[in-house]
Amino acid sequence: MSLFDMTGQVALITGSSRGIGKAIAEEMAVHGAKVVISSRKQDACDAVAAEINARHGAGTAIAVAANISAKDALQNLVDETRKAFGKVTALVCNAASNPYYGPAAGIADDQFRKIMDNNILSNHWLINMVAPEMMERGEGSVTIVSSIGGLKGSTVIGAYCISKAADMQMARNMADEYGPKGVRVNCIAPGLIRTDFAKALWENPDTLARSTARSPLRRIGEPEEIAGAAVFLASRAGAFTTGQTFVIDGGQTISGG
């Protein structure tokens, strides 16, 4: 059996109707997992689940819309996952928000709070909703999709970067707390990836050129280039890995770019 085989696993992935989350869901399905597609809009979730079921067989994926800012919506997401598949073995906290682009002095309080609530508090909620059953089974994997923004300063997405640094620390804390019961918690920190979420940083050719000029690979990343790390962390291949942040950025953080 492949180290990356996920047969028998149930993966719940937030923000999975597009971008990195969708790529993770598709790749986990390729490796045998049942997957739960979730984002704010049910029709978008339904479309992705239908694609996955068409490729990998009926019943591979279900779609459950959830707004990560609402605790009851996240609890319903977990409940519906258990109702359909009986368990959650792999949680991927991918959904995030960044409603502000500019200097720190200009961000409104409600924008700052939204970033912290959606990028930190929602992950705290979700992890604690699924961790008890994982600990009871003696195994489970949680992956938080953070960002290299959590490792660098920024003059334009500062609050977002603060939230992503907090996600890395959350992974370390929870890995320490839940590890003795077999539950692993890790982060993936992507660099610039071609997603709608990061469009402001790449859709303008001049901005893209500046963003990639000092990166060793000299290019933007693609969503599927993050998905492999998520499969690693949720599968037997990552069974001895916890509390870590995997940087996948084309080398940007090592070049001074």
Give me the active site residues, please. Answer: 160
Q: Is the dihedral angle over the CA atoms 57, 145, 126, 159 positive or is it negative?
A: negative
The residues that bridge with 221 in the sheet, in sequence order, are 193
DSSP assignment, residue 193? Answer: B
Written as six digits, the tokens of 211 are 């963003």
Alpha-carbon distance of 257 to 255, in angstroms, equals 5
Based on its alpha-carbon atoms, the radius of gyration of the chain, rounded to whole angstroms, reads 17
Written as six digits, the tokens of 32 are 């045998």
The residues that bridge with 62 in the sheet, in sequence order, are 36
